[in-house]
Amino acid sequence: MRTKGKDSPKIVWYIFFLALLLLFLWITVTGRNSFLNTYKLRRKVEKLELETSRLKAVNDSLANENARLKTDPQAAEKAAREEFGLTKPDEKVFRFVPAKDDD
């Protein structure tokens, strides 16, 4: 026959292992430094690094364009004509407006 005293330690062990399991789940899933949170932060850092490299490339191309406009007078004139619509004195400019469709 079993006594009530022998069953009691089994329940204590079950409670102990359940507590360890819950602690492990809390650490891995819901904690501030959990594996899930670390994974999300790592992905966010990777995206930000890609965005940074893209913006550096854009910045480099704009710096090259700026240097070219400062040193090459023909490039500066072309940019002034195309982007700002500037003309030389006594120069005529014809602007063609597309016709509207009567559909």
Q: Taking a C-beta distance cutoff of 8 angstroms, is the pair 27, 34 a contact?
A: yes
Q: Which structural domain range is residue 70 located in?
A: 42-85
Instruction: Let me know if residue 73 belongs to a domain.
Output: yes
Q: Please tell me the predicted confidence (pLDDT) of residue 4.
A: 55
> Is the pLDDT confidence value at 5 over 60?
no
What integer pLDDT is reported at residue 6 of this predicted model?
Answer: 58
Same-domain check for residues 48 and 72: yes
Domain membership of residue 103 (yes or no) is: no
Residue 81 lies in a domain: yes
Percentage of the residues of the chain whose pLDDT score is greater than 70: 91
Helices 73-84 and 35-71 cross at an angle (nearest 10°) of 110
Q: Which amino acid is at 96?
A: F
- Within the chain, residue ranges assigned H as helices are 4-25, 35-71, 73-84
Indicate the length of the chain as a whole number: 103
| Full-model pTM | 0.55
> First-to-last CA distance in the chain?
99
Model confidence band, residue 18 (pLDDT cutoffs 50, 70, 90): very high
- What total number of domains does the chain contain? 2
Does position 42 have pLDDT exceeding 50, yes or no?
Answer: yes
CA 4 to chain centre: 62
